[in-house]
Amino acid sequence: MDKHHEKINSLYLLLVVNCSIWPNKKIQWASSLEYQFNQYQESTYAGLQALGSPDAFPPGKIHVNAFRLAETAAFGTVKLGYDLPQHIEQIIIIENNDPGRVVQVKLIDEKGFNYIVYQQEAQAVSDRFRTLVLSVPRTDYKVKYVEINLNSIAAPGYSQIDAVGLLDHASVADVRNILSGANYNVQQALSFTAKKENLHQQINSRYAEAKPLVSHDGNTLYFSRLFHPSNTGGKTDPQDIYVSHFINGLWSEAQNVGAPLNDQFANGVCSISPDGKKLLVINGYQADGSIAPGVSISYKTAIGWGEPSSLDISGYENNSEFQDFFLSADEQVLMMAVERHDGYGDQDLYVSIKNGPKSYSRPISLGLGINTTRAEFAPFLSPDNTTLYFASDGHGGYGESDIFKTKRLDETWQSWTKPQNLGPAINTSSWEGYFSITASGDFAYFVSSEGARNGEENIYRIPLIQDIAPTPSVELVAFQGRTFNALTHAPLSADIILEENDKHQAFRARSDDLTGNFLIYLPREQSFEFVVKAPGYITFVENLSFAGTGENEQSYKNIYLMPIAADQVFTLNDLLFERSKPTLLDESYPSLEKLVGIMLENPNLKIELAGHTDGLGSSGPKENLSFRRVEKIKDFLVGFGIDRRRIETIGYGSSRPIAPNDTEENRAKNRRVEVKVLDVGS
């Protein structure tokens, strides 16, 4: 090993690519072997086999044309030289068999200085081969050598390196173009383009800061201060919530958010809704000013934050003095870090699934792959509900608690990839935790006690490089707009719901009661049923698709809701019956369920259901059929608990056409069910 001083460079962009064709255009492949340790043989399988362009075909099998360690469980090193020292932005490592055992990569310049650009624990990965592309900010030095250290003791296998290349191009598109014709298999990863930044006096104080949480748009930062003189109860108040806004490139001086979020107890924000209108806060806030175990939600109003109201978690238990929560972007998943009798020790991570308007299921442990006998806490879940960041004392690392990343593998919430330490750009020998990322992925925020007085934590941020080719569910479009009263054009507060057409998940927001504005981040490649509803108004429903819009591109729509008023008439669309029978077909249920929603949300509403048929056939049977059909609809509504006295029915048969009965298209218009508002109540 060279004994020059080493610089820890910012972390890497990890690009994993399965490949079968390797063009060498613009890539400089290694030309000399400077040093190797623990090669399998002197010629075949030797360090020399890592020179030049890839030639170990087919990949995924042990090959004589690639460097291999002497044993399946061993350490090893290969140091390679390049004819033309160059500035670089990418290092391309062809792991042609049993990848995942590269534990460290160093760049070495012409003066012999070392720069660590990759450092990771060994792990067996599911791919039989891969290309590891490490992306770094363009070096201000010229790279002459690359040193790769391998470890297959922790993950035994026939690990091989076929080739190592350098590239002075930054974007993922460049890599793809150069390796055109390859068969890609991209896995999500995270990288850091610069050193972490202490947010200093605007955010950090002489007192401890904790629980930083950045809004989805990156412009608002909530965090807590411990025992600060400006807390509600002064220096004896354990923890209050503070807020800062990003204005003209700077964070404003943090302000205490005040009541009702802050009181004499420990207060903290756990998650922020995508539109910024809802906060999940620790503690179960009670009407008498006391708190109970658990977590609450507060809604933003025209005059500030409303009184938090508790969520109901079945079988909730916490035997620790600490608690953390996180609510997914679609509000279907509530994560928590609590200590339970059925846990593994200290705080463990659990998940509860939404089963009611403000209720969640009994907590499910994330299992031994995530939880240890030490504390796991500070969960942060990506918008697609698959990538989890958390802090842990129990997974090993650089010192005290470190921040880790893992990916969910199935719908049980108990199968995860091995937690990945975020590395030395984030984690130190001190205490790190509470990692959060903006929706655009440009910055991450976290807490560290590194260099702080008396171990008190400060808040840091670090720029990110978004991983290449994220799955469609994390390519986001910012969907925004305003909601109005259709008659007065006054802004209106309404519930915004976008449910994926495959029913996999729903995204929710609430428009502002003062301006009618709403903002919600959605998966770009999905199609949605877009629902806007408010008490006293007819629900708006429309199908939406954002396919073709760019990642993080904005889409805008204004919605006008019609007030429900006496004598108003509207038609129920998409109702289907068996021919000449009153039997409802399954395709009718979505439309009827929306009518159920209107009746439940407006408990004083009384309606008349009027059935109509086309003009074919005699009028008597038609009148009877139309009446029996609306009676079936009435029975459907009553089955959902709606008082039948609120529903009148009448069958008009073919006596009230809205179109001539001369074509099938016109006859279809006449076959309809109309809803007439009789009374809206008070």
CATH number of the domain within which 267 lies: 2.115.10
* Comparison of pLDDT for 119 and 154, the residue scoring more: 154
Domain boundary among 465, 494, 521: 465
Pairing outcome for strands 197-198 and 209-214: unpaired
Name the CA dihedral angle for 96, 99, 101, 105, rounded to a multiple of 10 degrees: 60
Number of folded domains that form the chain: 4
pLDDT digits (tens, 9 = 90+) for 553-604: 568 899 999 888 888 888 887 788 887 888 888 888 888 888 898 888 888 9
401 falls within a domain: no
Examine the pLDDT at 638 and tell me if it is beyond 90. Answer: yes
Examine the pLDDT at 633 and tell me if it is beyond 90. Answer: yes
Pairing outcome for strands 554-561 and 476-485: parallel
441 falls within a domain: yes
305 falls within a domain: yes
- 97, 243: one domain: no
Paired residues of 620 in beta bridges: none
Ranked by mean pLDDT, which of 41-50, 127-136, 379-388, 580-589 comes out on top?
41-50
470 falls within a domain: no
Percent of the chain with pLDDT over 90: 50
- 182, 108: one domain: yes
Examine the pLDDT at 202 and tell me if it is beyond 60. Answer: yes
* Comparison of pLDDT for 126 and 615, the residue scoring more: 615
* CATH number of domain containing 516: 2.60.40.2190
Assign residue 590 a region: left if phi > 0, alpha if psi is -120 to 50, beta otherwise? alpha
- 218, 356: one domain: yes
- 101, 168: one domain: yes
**What pLDDT was estimated at residue 521?**
76
- 23, 113: one domain: yes
Q: How far is CA 545 from the centre of its chain?
A: 19
- 323, 258: one domain: yes
pLDDT digits (tens, 9 = 90+) for 293-345: 999 999 988 789 999 999 999 999 999 999 999 999 878 899 999 999 999 99
**What pLDDT was estimated at residue 378?**
98
Spell out the residues 6+ positions from residue 334 whose beta carbon is closer than 8 angstroms to its own: 295, 311, 313, 325, 326, 327, 328, 351, 352, 353, 354, 360
**What pLDDT was estimated at residue 475?**
63
220 falls within a domain: yes
**What pLDDT was estimated at residue 455?**
63
**What pLDDT was estimated at residue 7?**
40
Examine the pLDDT at 12 and tell me if it is beyond 70. Answer: no
* Comparison of pLDDT for 223 and 121, the residue scoring more: 223
pLDDT digits (tens, 9 = 90+) for 535-552: 888 888 888 888 766 554
**What pLDDT was estimated at residue 470?**
30
Examine the pLDDT at 1 and tell me if it is beyond 50. Answer: no
- Its domain, for residue 597, covers 569-679
- 207, 337: one domain: yes
**What pLDDT was estimated at residue 471?**
39
Pairing outcome for strands 359-360 and 333-338: unpaired
Examine the pLDDT at 195 and tell me if it is beyond 50. Answer: yes
Distance from C-alpha of 113 to C-alpha of 292, rounded to nearest angstrom: 57
**What is the average per-residue pLDDT within 496-503?**
80
Reported confidence tier of residue 425, pLDDT bands at 50, 70, 90: confident
- 227, 82: one domain: no
Domain boundary among 165, 187, 209: 187
Spell out the residues 6+ positions from residue 229 whose beta carbon is closer than 8 angstroms to its own: 235
Reported confidence tier of residue 9, pLDDT bands at 50, 70, 90: very low
Predicted TM-score (pTM) of the model is 0.61
**What is the average per-residue pLDDT within 423-443?**
86
**What pLDDT was estimated at residue 340?**
96
CA distances 379 to 422, 447, 640, Å, are: 14, 13, 37
* CATH number of domain containing 145: 2.60.120.260
- Encoded amino acid at 86, one letter: Q
- 265, 299: one domain: yes
98 falls within a domain: yes
Distance from C-alpha of 199 to C-alpha of 604, rounded to nearest angstrom: 53
**What is the average per-residue pLDDT within 224-240?**
95
Examine the pLDDT at 124 and tell me if it is beyond 60. Answer: yes
Contact between 441 and 489 under an 8 Å Cβ cutoff? The reply is: no
Examine the pLDDT at 222 and tell me if it is beyond 90. Answer: yes
Distance from C-alpha of 661 to C-alpha of 666, rounded to nearest angstrom: 6
- 526, 586: one domain: no
Q: At what angle do helices 589-601 and 619-638 cross, to 10 degrees?
A: 60
**What pLDDT was estimated at residue 183?**
45
Average pLDDT of the chain to the nearest whole number: 86
Q: What residue ranges in 87-142 does DSSP mark as E strands? A: 90-95, 102-109, 114-119, 130-135
* CATH number of domain containing 610: 3.30.1330.60
Domain boundary among 516, 531, 561: 561
- 319, 440: one domain: yes
Examine the pLDDT at 464 and tell me if it is beyond 90. Answer: no
**What pLDDT was estimated at residue 196?**
86
Reported confidence tier of residue 182, pLDDT bands at 50, 70, 90: very low
- 503, 378: one domain: no
Percent of the chain with pLDDT over 70: 89
Q: What residue ranges in 226-290 does DSSP mark as E strands? A: 240-247, 250-251, 255-256, 269-272, 278-285
412 falls within a domain: no
660 falls within a domain: yes
